[in-house]
Amino acid sequence: MPTIELEHRTQLSASEIMEKAETLIPDALKEYGDQISDPYQEWKGNTLVFSFKAMGFFVSGEATASNNLIKIKAKLPLVAGMFKGKIRDKFHEEAKKLFP
């Protein structure tokens, strides 16, 4: 299973990042509910452990918040490995909006 590691520098504190990150899966369900199922998220300290199925494929990972930085490490389905570049680009585009 391919992995992807992403990070984004921000002006936000760890607690502000955590507050905003809490809404990511619920917001994705609202927008892509017909393509996402079995969502799970749990905070362990400053790390959000998450998983879900996207179009039937299992995705899992963790997002770690620290002052001025969010890091994500996720396991992707094999077919998504071909799209790492697009996933990375979309992450940076959305992270700039959500975590300025």
pLDDT of residue 65: 98
Instruction: Tell me if residue 35 falls in helix, strand or coil.
Output: coil
Mean pLDDT of 69-74: 98
pLDDT of residue 88: 95
pLDDT of residue 86: 93
pTM: 0.88
pLDDT digits (tens, 9 = 90+) for 15-38: 999 999 989 888 888 988 889 999
Contact 2, 58 (CB under 8 A): no
pLDDT of residue 5: 98
Mean pLDDT of 45-59: 94
**Where do we find the tokens 């002006």?**
11
Domain ranges (residues) in the chain: 3-98
Record the tokens describing residue 35, joined without a space: 């393509």
CATH of domain 3-98: 3.30.310
